[in-house]
Structure 1
Amino acid sequence: MTTVDQAKAMAGRLRAALAARDIAVPHATALELVAAELGHSDWNTACAALDHAVDEGPAFLEAVPVLRIFDEAKAREFYCGFLGFAPGFQHRFEPGLPLYMEVARAGLRLHLTEHHGDSSPGPTVFVPMRDLRVYHRELTEKRYGYARPGIEQAPWGEMLEVADPFGNRLRFCQYRNAKSGRRSVTV
Structure 2
Amino acid sequence: MATVKPILRIFDYDKARTFYLDWLGFHLDWEHRPADSPAYLQISRGDVTLHLSEHHGDCSPGARVFIDDFEHLAAFHQQLLAQDYKYNRPGLDTPFYDPTALEMTVTDPFGNRLTFVERR
**TM-score, shorter chain, exceeding 0.5:** yes
Matches of 1:106 and 1:90, distance apart in 2: 18
Q: Deviations over 1:110-164 (max 9, x none)?
A: 1000001111100110001111101101101101010111101113221000000
The correspondence of residues 1-187 of structure 1 with structure 2, limited to 5 A, is 59-60=1-2, 62-92=3-33, 94-128=34-68, 129-154=70-95, 155-156=97-98, 157-176=101-120
Q: Percent identity among equivalent residues?
A: 43
Q: Deviations over 1:64-86 (max 9, x none)?
A: 11000000000000001110111
Q: Once superposed, what is the RMSD of the aligned Cα atoms?
A: 1.0
Matches of 2:19 and 2:89, distance apart in 1: 12
Matches of 1:101 and 1:65, distance apart in 2: 12
TM-score (norm 1): 0.60
Matches of 1:103 and 1:142, distance apart in 2: 20
2:116 match: secondary structure: strand
Matches of 2:79 and 2:71, distance apart in 1: 14
Structure 1 spans left out of the alignment, 5+ residues:
1-58, 177-187
Structure 2 spans left out of the alignment, 5+ residues:
none
Counterpart of 2:7, as a letter, is V
Q: Quick one: higher RCO (CA 8 Å, sep 6+), 1 or 2?
A: 2
Runs of 4+ aligned residues of structure 1 deviating over 6 Å after TM superposition are: none
More helix by percentage: 1
Counterpart of 1:142, as a letter, is Q
Shift of 1:175: 2.0
Compare CA radii of gyration and give the structure with the larger one: 1
